[in-house]
Chain A
């Protein structure tokens, strides 16, 4: 497969994922009797995917996020993902503690925190084995 073809396929990966996620929101919302969530969620995802495609015409960062060829932008994406993950995990831990302090069982935050911990351990072992 040529590099150009791979880049073209990669360029469309994010917009396609946005569309699929939007359709999932749409289906879930309509099935659950929440049409407002369904259409707003679908719209947000479609607009985000389209905005990324449009921005890639004038922004090197947006283009790099879509075609994945630039190692610096890939590193920026990876680091931003790590920061977002840490923020979410910290929020989950705080919420679990708040829930327990209020006499609740900590659900679902406790389970989410456990999932994060197990995922980290598995990822660490897998990465250690690969590198």
Chain B
């Protein structure tokens, strides 16, 4: 599933480690989510969306 986490993170000038620390996950996990290798759980997806002030549907492309 494609997502725009990398773009949202880049727009805020955050590193993967910064975002991981904010979400309570590792830098590796942020990288895996951005590259689409790992699909986060619903709570983590919601946490990502809330962190960026948007919705899950805006972050994750459910049709891809």
Which A positions have Cβ atoms within 8 angstroms of B?
A: 60-61, 63-64, 69-73
Pick the residue among B24, B25, B28 that contacts A61 (CB under 8 A). Answer: B28
CB-CB contacts of B1-39 with A at 8 A, as 1s and 0s? 000000000000000000000001111110010000010
Which B positions have Cβ atoms within 8 angstroms of A?
A: 24-29, 32, 38, 40-41, 44
What's the minimum C-beta distance from A61 to chain B, rounded to whole angstroms?
7
Whether A72 lies near B38 (C-beta < 8 A) is yes
User: In the docked arrangement, what's the CA distance between A61 and B25, Å?
Assistant: 11
Which one of A71, A72, A73 has the greatest number of beta carbons of chain B within 10 Å?
A: A72
What's the minimum C-beta distance from B35 to chain A, rounded to whole angstroms?
12
Sample of 17 more A-B contacts, CB < 8 Å, known A61-B26, A61-B28, A72-B29: A60-B27, A63-B26, A64-B26, A69-B25, A70-B24, A70-B25, A70-B29, A71-B25, A71-B29, A71-B40, A71-B41, A71-B44, A72-B25, A72-B28, A72-B32, A73-B28, A73-B29
